[in-house]
């Protein structure tokens, strides 16, 4: 079965393509010159976040055409379906109710009541650990909390814990272990004291190889270092939707915090999966993070699409990826503490929208999720920005900036912010041949050198970016930022008619991983496997035969 292509799906596809083609002959710089009000016209503020999308290859007409496409895809109706818990995850026949995790006030639905009970229990645990009432096997206070989890059970909590460093209470140090590579847990256990360490085993499915193996290693480490079997309960807590499996694994039933099928792993940091965040910043700030996200949810639900931050972010990405043919997008937070945001968004965007069939299972012939990459500014400027400025690929960019810093070095914050703004400005305006030549002339170069150097120094410009601005990186603004990206992803899923909430593409690699491990274990390598796989396995077996 083949899905309708986008020109069949959207009645104004030709118009969208024509509008996109216009940008071959016109520049954003001209658009700014022609309209003093462009920045205000293409900016929206909500939930403590301002999206300035004026430096995009966009005008009123193209925005209108994109909004028509959103209407034809019934984005408004789809938002309602998401928020009221319809089974938008149709291949797993479940809702995607991460928004139910971040309500404020008294819980209303059955889901919210379950969430509140879990948050209350989590709050109690954190208070007992922070105060020192919860003691390790030698009767000492817990000083270190280690989250063992991977993917959605790692990236979100790890990113937010780092992002909110200025809010760390200092009661405990929070660490993360994700990789099956034993090097990660080995490095960590070398510097930790087992008597004062608490492990959080975070796994929605409680069947993820990395998490189970790392947890077994952690358990062995505890037992080898004097903890009795009975005292393990003082050092292991689990978060899972498979409570039985966690108990079967050996976690005390009272130490298991539930998660629900209606929360996707990569959307779960607002649940007990966010426990490491709450251990680091305290429960009050964790709640502020949730409430910041709730404010963005409300905006997503209520605002008209032309004034709707997540919807606009999604429509812009649709414009670039589907109409202008881009393959990647760069996330460039000008905030050191947001350095893990690109990695977090890789899972959120690529695991959600990296699909090849529609919700009905028909093959699509259009580009879906794009490659997300990036790093924190200004580091990227001294690395890959060269390609952004002068390379041959078009990369839509999200710059993320804060008006105020948490540290006292105001002059450095001024330079950080200036660089962020200057990058988006330089990418947009570029520097043409004539300006480049006259600059070289004013530096005293002769005409021959000018003719040689000028082409190398020309910046084509017309390279698009959004700037997401917040007053300060705090729990509320971060919550709103993350929720904006979650809803952007859903917007794209709706426009492409794909399911953003399943991830079948990760299954085959996992399955073959266990087959290869078995082949190594038994030294029985199936002869029908390809010669590359067989040779690689034999090399490993050979290298490890005496171990």
At closest approach, how far in Å is the CB of 155 from ligand F6P? 8
Among 99, 161, 203, 370, binds ligand F6P (CB under 6 A): 203
Compute CA 170 distance to the chain's CA centroid, rounded to the nearest angstrom: 26
Select the span of 205-213, 218-226, 335-343, 521-529 touching ligand F6P (CB under 6 A).
205-213
Select the span of 24-32, 100-108, 203-211, 304-312 touching ligand F6P (CB under 6 A).
203-211
**In terms of CB distance, is 206 or 320 closer to ligand F6P?**
206
Helices 507-522 and 531-543, axial angle in degrees (round to 10): 50
CB 100 within 8 A of CB 112: yes
Residues 112 and 394: their CA atoms lie apart, in Å, by: 43
**In terms of CB distance, is 155 or 294 closer to ligand F6P?**
155
CB 240 within 8 A of CB 272: no
- Using CB under 6 A as the binding rule, whether residue 503 contacts ligand F6P is answered as yes
What string marks each residue from 139 to 178 as x (binds ligand F6P by CB under 6 A) or -? -----------xxxx-------------------------
What string marks each residue from 24 to 63 as x (binds ligand F6P by CB under 6 A) or -? ----------------------------------------
Among 175, 204, 337, 385, binds ligand F6P (CB under 6 A): 204
Residues 123 and 111: their CA atoms lie apart, in Å, by: 18
**Considering 8, 133, 382, 411, which one is annotated as catalytic?**
382
Among 48, 265, 274, 292, binds ligand F6P (CB under 6 A): 265
Q: Order across the sheet with 236-240: list the strands.
A: 173-177, 144-148, 197-202, 236-240, 256-258
Closest to 314 (Cα-Cα) out of 480, 9, 67: 67
Residues 449 and 102: their CA atoms lie apart, in Å, by: 62
Give the total of residues touching ligand F6P (CB under 6 A): 14
Helix, strand, coil tally for the chain in percent (to 5): 55, 10, 35
- Using CB under 6 A as the binding rule, whether residue 380 contacts ligand F6P is answered as no
Coil, strand or helix at 54: coil
Compute CA 488 distance to the chain's CA centroid, rounded to the nearest angstrom: 11
Among 197, 211, 215, 424, binds ligand F6P (CB under 6 A): 211
At closest approach, how far in Å is the CB of 511 from ligand F6P? 12
At closest approach, how far in Å is the CB of 273 from ligand F6P? 8
Residues 260 and 262: their CA atoms lie apart, in Å, by: 5
At closest approach, how far in Å is the CB of 202 from ligand F6P? 6
- Using CB under 6 A as the binding rule, whether residue 208 contacts ligand F6P is answered as yes
What string marks each residue from 330 to 359 as x (binds ligand F6P by CB under 6 A) or -? ---------------------x--------
Told to judge if 510 belongs to the known catalytic residues of this protein, a careful annotator would answer yes
**In terms of CB distance, is 219 or 385 closer to ligand F6P?**
219
Please state, in angstroms and as integers, the Cα–Cα distance from residue 441 to each residue in 355, 401, 452, 458, following that order. 52, 36, 12, 14
Helices 475-496 and 155-163, axial angle in degrees (round to 10): 140
What residues does 44 pair with on adjacent strands?
Answer: 51
**In terms of CB distance, is 351 or 486 closer to ligand F6P?**
351
- Using CB under 6 A as the binding rule, whether residue 205 contacts ligand F6P is answered as yes
Select the span of 198-206, 215-223, 394-402, 451-459 touching ligand F6P (CB under 6 A).
198-206
Told to judge if 210 belongs to the known catalytic residues of this protein, a careful annotator would answer no
Told to judge if 168 belongs to the known catalytic residues of this protein, a careful annotator would answer no
Residues in the chain: 547
**In terms of CB distance, is 28 or 148 closer to ligand F6P?**
148
Closest to 482 (Cα-Cα) out of 201, 205, 277: 277
Residues 276 and 544: their CA atoms lie apart, in Å, by: 37
35 Cβ contact list (under 8 Å, min separation 6): 41
Query: What is the binding site for ligand F6P (CB under 6 A)?
Result: 150-153, 203-205, 208, 211, 265-266, 351, 503, 506
Q: Which residues are catalytically annotated?
A: 351, 382, 510
């Amino acid at each position: 079965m083949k899905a309708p292509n986008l020109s069949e799906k959207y009645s104004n596809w030709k118009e969208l393509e024509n509008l996109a083609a216009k940008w071959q002959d016109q520049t954003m710089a001209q658009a700014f010159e022609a309209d003093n009000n462009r920045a205000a016209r293409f900016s929206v503020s909500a939930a403590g976040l301002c999206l300035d999308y004026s430096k995009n290859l966009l005008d009123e007409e193209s925005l209108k055409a994109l909004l028509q496409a959103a209407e034809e895809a019934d984005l408004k109706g789809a938002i309602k379906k998401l928020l009221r818990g319809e089974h938008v995850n149709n291949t797993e026949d479940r809702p995607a109710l991460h928004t139910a995790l971040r309500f404020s006030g008294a819980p209303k639905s059955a889901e919210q009541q379950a969430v509140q009970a879990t948050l209350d229990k989590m709050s109690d645990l954190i208070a007992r650990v922070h105060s020192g009432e919860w003691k390790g096997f030698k009767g000492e206070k817990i000083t270190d909390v280690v989250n063992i989890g991977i993917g959605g059970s790692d990236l979100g909590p790890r990113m937010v814990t780092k992002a909110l460093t200025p809010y760390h209470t200092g009661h405990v140090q929070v660490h993360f272990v994700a990789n099956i590579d034993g090097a990660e847990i080995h490095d960590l256990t070398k510097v930790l004291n087992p008597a004062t360490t608490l492990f959080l085993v975070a796994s929605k499915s409680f069947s993820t190889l990395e998490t189970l193996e790392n947890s077994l290693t952690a358990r062995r480490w505890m037992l080898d270092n004097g903890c009795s079997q009975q005292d393990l309960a003082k050092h292991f807590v689990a978060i899972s939707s498979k409570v039985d499996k966690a108990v079967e694994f050996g976690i005390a039933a009272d130490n298991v915090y539930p998660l629900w099928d209606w929360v996707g792993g990569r959307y779960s940091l607002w649940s007990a999966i966010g426990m490491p965040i709450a251990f680091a910043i305290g429960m009050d700030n964790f709640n502020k993070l949730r409430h910041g996200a709730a404010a963005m949810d409300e905006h997503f639900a209520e605002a008209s699409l032309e004034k709707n931050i997540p919807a606009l972010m999604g429509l812009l990405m649709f414009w670039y990826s589907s109409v202008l043919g881009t393959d990647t997008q760069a996330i460039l937070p000008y905030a050191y503490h947001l350095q893990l945001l690109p990695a977090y968004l890789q899972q959120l965007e690529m695991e959600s929208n990296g699909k090849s069939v529609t919700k009905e299972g028909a093959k699509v012939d259009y580009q879906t999720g794009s490659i997300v990459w990036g790093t924190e500014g200004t580091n990227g400027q001294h690395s890959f920005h060269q390609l952004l400025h002068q390379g041959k690929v078009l990369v839509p960019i999200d710059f993320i900036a804060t008006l105020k810093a948490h540290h006292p070095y105001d002059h450095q914050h001024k330079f950080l912010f200036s660089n962020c703004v200057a990058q988006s400005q330089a990418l947009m305006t570029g520097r043409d041949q004539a300006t480049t030549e006259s600059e070289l002339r004013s530096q005293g170069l002769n005409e021959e050198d000018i003719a040689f150097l000028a082409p190398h120094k020309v910046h084509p410009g017309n390279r698009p970016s959004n700037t997401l601005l917040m007053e300060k990186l705090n729990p509320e603004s971060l919550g709103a930022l993350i929720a904006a990206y979650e809803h952007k992803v859903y917007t794209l899923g709706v426009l492409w008619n794909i399911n953003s909430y399943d991830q079948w593409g990760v299954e085959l690699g996992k399955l073959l991983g266990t087959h290869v491990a078995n082949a190594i274990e038994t030294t029985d390598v199936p002869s029908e496997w390809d010669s590359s796989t067989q040779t690689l396995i034999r090399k490993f077996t050979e290298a490890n035969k005496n171990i």
